[in-house]
Structure formats: structure tokens, C-alpha cells
Structure 1
């Protein structure tokens, strides 16, 4: 079956990013635990879906997304100084740790601690893969029409369309 909006796609993929001239595998799914998503529902990177839009069950894929089409270019400005008072009563976060944060609009996001100075914790708010070209390879395992329930929820309920309890 061909991939179309309102269809649920199950696929395996390997994601490589270039680190110092070598391609490193950073994420991987298996046939036992594929990536399953409702195509066209806006859950995936738009250019990721665009690259899959001509494929059908059983097809293999291999494509690259430049940083601008993936998680954006690295933004040197996207660094926040969090006052140490924010962490009163808890352990100071360590450099390299990921902090769950929330902005004034209630949007949740993550920041990575880059340094801890006298009165502040300095956090990099860029996506961990910002500024990187993503290289995807994989196979389309299954394509099926979404169930009415999946369409009303706006996401897939697993490879076979049923809830997992």
C-alpha cells in the first residue's frame, strides 16, 4: 500500500549524524519496535514525511535532511542564564545534564547545562541535533488506513491500531 495522509506508517530507520567527519549512528528502530506514526498529522519533521511520500510497503529509503529542514541551525543566542535560586533546596545540576524547563507560555522544552558559574546555571536551549544534517536509512514495513479513533486522536495507536494496556 502506498503512503498517503490519513494512513499509519510503520517503518524501521537508522539515523546517522556527521560528527567530525564520521557518520555516527544516533538512533535506531527495529522490526520488533518500529516507528509507527499517522502520516500527515504533523508529528514528524515535515521534510521527513516529504521524503517518504512516494513510497509503499516494502520500500527502502535513504535520504539526508540538511539542518535547516531538520532541527534548525545552531543558534548561539539560545543560551539562558538561570539564577541559582531556581535550584534552591535541590542539588545543583551538573554540566552536561538535561533540564526540563518551561517558558512563560507553558511550553515545555529541554536545555543542556553548559556551565555553572557563581550565581547562575548556564543552559543551552538548542535542540541536541541543531545544526546537524540528518541521514536516514530504513525500510517501510507496513502502511494501512488509520482507524476512525486514530484520526480523531491525531496519532497512531501502534502497528496494529489497537491500544496497548
Structure 2
């Protein structure tokens, strides 16, 4: 069976980006014991990531690069904020490089990277950590199966075998 909409895909991947010198930098990987399992074609994954996997079968290897625009987007210069130091009285001040959880007025949760700490404010970057970076993927397709009706109704995979997750 090949990868197409409404199939559950299990795969390994290794993800790299490139640094300013053009050298590949390792980000993360999955393996056969802990594969990435997802419902293909439902918008759970980056659209261009899925596009590159279309039609592949069990045992196929793949490798491709996504531009920043096709990944998590370019860095948005408007996605930086200054938070008052008073916000951190209870939890304590974070350190530069920390990723902190935040919540907006509508109750949406998101994360921000701390870029600087000053006397009155903490500067944070609200961009996705992978924004502005090209993504280089390589891996192997481990399994492809039809999604169950329950998975389709829920909009996500219930594990490689269709019975995990809930």
C-alpha cells in the first residue's frame, strides 16, 4: 500500500537544518522503536512534508529539503515582545535561551524563547523555534495502513496498530 490521504503512516526521520556557514546541524530523529506515526492528509503535518511522502511504500527511503517558507515560515520581525519583569515574581526570572509557556487573553497556549533580560522587561521571541530555517529530512517508511473509522472521526492516528492513544 502506498501513502495517500486517510492512511496511517509510520516512519523514521532524521532532521537537520543548516547554520550560517551552510553546515548541516542535527535537530532530532526518530527510530524504528519510536517512529513518527500520523494520519496522512488531515493537516497534522507540514503540507510540503506530506507532499514529498505521497506514493511512497513500506521500505522506501526518502530525503528532501523544505525551505523555511514551506516549513515553519520565515522569521516574523513583529513576533517579538517585551514582557514586564513583574510577570515572573512567582516563578522567578527565566534565563536567556529558556522557552517559557504563555497564554493569550483567549486562553490559547504557546511558547516563547527568552532572548534578553533587562531591569524592567524580559524580551521574548514568539516565532516557532524552527522559523527561518530550511528543514532537511531523511528517513524510511516503516508501515502504511488504512485509517480506522475511529481515527478518521478523531482526526488523528491511534498508534501504529490503530489501538493506541486513547
TM score, norm. by length of structure 1: 0.95
Q: Which moved more, 1:25-34 or 1:100-109?
A: 100-109
Gaps of 5+ in 2: none
Structure 2 equivalent of residue 107 of structure 1: 108
The yes-or-no answer on 1:97 pairing with 2:92 is: no
Cα distance, 1:148 vs structure 2 = 1.3
Cα distance, 1:22 vs structure 2 = 1.1
Structure 1 equivalent of residue 5 of structure 2: 5
Q: Distance in 1 between matches of 2:91 and 2:55?
A: 51
Kindly report structure 1 stretches of 4+ aligned residues shifted beyond 3 Å: none
Q: Residues 51-62 of structure 1 correspond to what in structure 2 (within 5 A)?
A: 51-62=52-63
Cα distance, 1:2 vs structure 2 = 0.7
Cα distance, 1:144 vs structure 2 = 0.1
Gaps of 5+ in 1: none
TM score, norm. by length of structure 2: 0.95
Structure 2 equivalent of residue 87 of structure 1: 88
RMSD: 1.2
The yes-or-no answer on 1:74 pairing with 2:75 is: yes
Cα distance, 1:164 vs structure 2 = 5.1
